[in-house]
């Protein structure tokens, strides 16, 4: 049986569940995706570990956001910019950043990822979603 993220219509955002910046990003997404087209999973969850493994990443690598769309797994800045396409106006305009060479985009992304705990803080435990957010989470690989 195929994993749910192999469905070509499935869109899954994977994030570091203990990072305050990442958890803020999830709240931002939820507010701008009222129809809940984007599904969510923390990288620390069973789903997150399964997708990370499928992408050839260490399950301990929490320095990247992943986005699964159309059965493809995108990382770092590519994930961020592709997620923006699915939000309400004006956020899809950010996807124009995909024309910037990936090496430059990812260099910028890596600077933020490397400093995110220092700049924004870290939780002691993974994000516990509100009941409204919980319906968006994938819970089984």
- What is the total count of domains within the chain? 1
Residue 36 lies in a domain: yes
Its pTM stands at 0.88
Residue 109 lies in a domain: yes
Residue 137 lies in a domain: no
CA distances from 28 to 22, 40, 56, 61, 101 (A): 10, 13, 28, 23, 26
User: Residue 116's domain spans which residues?
Assistant: 4-122
Tell me what pLDDT residue 15 has: 92
Confidence at 141, pLDDT banded by 50, 70, 90: low
Residue 105 lies in a domain: yes
Mean pLDDT of 81-100: 95
28: CATH? 3.40.30
DSSP for 107-130?
HHHHHHHHHHHHHH-B-SS-----
Confidence at 124, pLDDT banded by 50, 70, 90: confident
SS3 41: strand
């Amino acid at each position: 049986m195929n994993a749910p993220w192999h469905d070509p219509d499935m869109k899954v955002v994977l994030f570091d569940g203990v990072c305050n910046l990442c958890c803020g990003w999830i709240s931002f997404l939820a507010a701008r995706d009222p129809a809940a087209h984007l599904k969510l999973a923390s990288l620390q969850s069973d789903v997150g570990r399964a997708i990370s493994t499928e992408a050839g990443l260490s399950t301990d690598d929490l320095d990247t956001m992943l986005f699964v769309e159309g059965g493809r797994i995108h990382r770092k800045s590519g994930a961020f910019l592709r997620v923006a396409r699915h939000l309400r106006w004006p956020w899809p305009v950010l996807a124009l950043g995909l024309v910037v060479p990936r090496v430059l985009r990812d260099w910028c992304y890596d600077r933020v990822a490397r400093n995110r705990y220092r700049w924004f803080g870290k939780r002691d435990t993974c994000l516990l979603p509100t009941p409204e957010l919980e319906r968006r989470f994938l819970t089984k690989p």
